[in-house]
Amino acid sequence: MTEYDYWKIFPRMPKKVTIGDITIRDGLQHLEKFISTRAKIFYLEELIFAGCRHIEVTNLGNPYLMPQFEDAKSLLTHLRSERFKKRCARKGVNYDDLVLTAITIREGAVDRAIELRKQGIGPDRLLMMVSTEEEHHFANSGCTLPEYWKESERCIQKCNDAGMVMCGTVSTIWGSPIGGATDMKDAVEFTKRWLEIGAHDVEHADHDGSASAPDVYRYFSMILDEIPDPRLHIAHFHETKRVAAASALAAMQAGIINFEATLGGMGGQPANFLDDCPVKGTGDYYYDDPRYVGLMCLEDLLVQVDEMGIAHGYDVDRILWLGRQMERTVGHRLRSEAAINGRTLTEGHMKYARPGLKKRKEKLGEAAGQQMPSDWAPQAVLPEKYCA
C-alpha cells in the first residue's frame, strides 16, 4: 500500500520552521526609489511584533555605492533604544530573542559594525558572501575567491572578538546569472570552509532563481549528510521562475528548518539608480527585465507552511496586511498572491454563493448534504478494467 503520511515519506521534514525576514535589507536594495527611514522603522517594528525574531536590518557597506542604506545607523539606533525595548515588552516580545543582522560584504563594513557595537547599537550578527562562480563573486565583492576567503577569515575573528557572530553565505549553488552552470559539490566544500574558519551558520543562496526542486532536495540532502545539524543551515531562494515555493518544500523534505523571505518577494541585485540619480551599486544589471528578480514571498511562504500544519511563530494575517501596505509604500504591485487573495478558508467564501440551492434540493426531495441519487449504491463499484 502507498504510504500517505507525508512525514513518514520524508522523515527529515520539520514540524516547526524558523523564517527570517530580510525585507528592509535585501528587499529594498533593488528599488530605484529611496524608502524613508520612518517607513523602514515601521516595517522593522511591525515584522517583529508579527512574530519575526531573525531580521536583517541594513547593509553597513559604503552608502556611496548603495545610498538606500545611508540611514543604517539610525535604524540600528532605534532598534537598540529603550523606547523600542519597552514597546516589545508591551507587545509580549522577549527582546533577548531578537537577532539583528547587518550585511558586511567587505572588511570596512565589518569594522563599521564593530564601532557601532562599541557604541551599544551594533548588530548581533553579520553576513559575508561568496559565490562558487568567480565572475559572480567578483561582481559582488571586487575580489578573487582566494583573496576574499582570507579577508573573511580575518573578519570572522574580528567579529567574534567584538561579541558578534558571522553568517557565511554560499551563492550560485544551482547556477550563476553570469557564468552559467555550477557544480553543487563546490557549494558543499564552500560550506565546510565557512565553518572551518569560524562562521556561526551558513546561508545557502539561489541568488538568481536557478534552482529546481529535485536539485534543491539533492543539495540539502548532501549538506545534511556532511553537516547534520539543521540549525547551521539557512535556505535563501529567489523567484526568477516562480518556483521558489517548490524549492522551499524540497528543502523542508530534505530536513532544512531555517528560511529567509521578503514581503512581496522584493529584492535582487543592488540598484544602480536611485530616485533621480545614477549610483554605482554593483554595476550593470545582469538581467533584462526587473520583473525577473526578487526573493521568495514571506506572505506566500507563511501561508504554505501554515496550511501544512508546520509551526512558524508568525501572525499570518498581520503579515498579509503588512504585504498590502508595502505595495502602497513602494507604489506598485508586488509578487505575493496570498497578500491579495488571503488564505484558504475552511468555512469558504459564502458571500459568493448563488441563491436558491436549498430550495431546489427541497423541491427535488433531496436531503441536505446529499451528494448522490438516492437509488445509487452507498459506494462506487469500479469496473474491473480500472482495478489494480
* Alpha carbon distance 98, 116 (integer Å): 17
* Alpha carbon distance 299, 315 (integer Å): 11
Is residue 129 within 8 A of residue 85, CB to CB? The reply is no
For position 351, what pLDDT does the model report?
86
- pLDDT reading at 336 higher than 90: yes
Task: Give 184's contacts (C-beta < 8 A, 6+ positions apart).
Answer: 173, 174, 215, 218, 219, 222
For position 54, what pLDDT does the model report?
98
- pLDDT reading at 251 higher than 80: yes
Query: For residue 348, is it within any domain?
Result: no
Angle, vertex CA 371, rays to CA 365 and CA 374, nearest 5 = 50
- Give the pLDDT band of residue 33 (cuts 50, 70, 90): very high
Query: For residue 363, is it within any domain?
Result: no
Is residue 132 within 8 A of residue 182, CB to CB? The reply is yes
Given CA atoms 173, 178, 180, 185 in this order, what sign does their dihedral have? negative
For residue 168, the Cα-to-chain-centroid distance in whole angstroms is 16
- pLDDT reading at 291 higher than 80: no
* Alpha carbon distance 132, 128 (integer Å): 14
Query: For residue 153, is it within any domain?
Result: yes
- Give the pLDDT band of residue 242 (cuts 50, 70, 90): confident
For position 293, what pLDDT does the model report?
82
- Give the pLDDT band of residue 106 (cuts 50, 70, 90): very high
* Alpha carbon distance 230, 246 (integer Å): 19
Which three cell numbers, joined as nine digits, stand for 343?
488564505
- pLDDT reading at 11 higher than 80: yes
- Give the pLDDT band of residue 376 (cuts 50, 70, 90): very high
| Cα–Cα nearest to 25, from 167, 120, 156 | 167
Start-to-end C-alpha separation, the chain? 12
Q: E strands, 150-297, where?
A: 165-171, 201-206, 233-237, 258-261, 273-274, 277-278
Q: Tens digits of per-residue pLDDT, 121-179?
A: 999 999 999 999 999 999 889 999 999 999 999 999 999 999 999 999 999 999 998 99
Query: For residue 383, is it within any domain?
Result: no
Query: For residue 28, is it within any domain?
Result: yes
The whole-chain average pLDDT of the chain stands at 95
Our separate counts of H helices and E strands in the chain read: 15, 10
Query: Could you tell me what percent of the chain has a pLDDT over 70?
Result: 100
Query: For residue 99, is it within any domain?
Result: yes
Query: For residue 349, is it within any domain?
Result: no
Comparing 40-54, 320-334, 343-357, the range with the smallest average pLDDT is 343-357
| Cα–Cα nearest to 130, from 120, 138, 121 | 138
Domain count along the chain: 1
- Please give the residue range of the domain that contains residue 73: 6-341
Per DSSP, what are the bridge partners of residue 297?
262
Query: For residue 364, is it within any domain?
Result: no
Amino acid at 381: V
Which three cell numbers, joined as nine digits, stand for 285?
544589471
Helix (H) / strand (E) containing 19: strand 18-21
- pLDDT reading at 197 higher than 90: yes
* Alpha carbon distance 49, 150 (integer Å): 39
The domain that holds 154 is classified in CATH as: 3.20.20.70
pTM for the full model?
Answer: 0.94
Q: How many CB atoms lie within 10 A of CB 180?
A: 11
- pLDDT reading at 248 higher than 80: yes
For position 74, what pLDDT does the model report?
98
Q: Tens digits of per-residue pLDDT, 341-360?
A: 888 888 888 888 999 999 99
For position 207, what pLDDT does the model report?
83
For position 292, what pLDDT does the model report?
75
Q: How many CB atoms lie within 10 A of CB 233?
A: 22
Averaged over 256-274, what is the pLDDT? Answer: 95
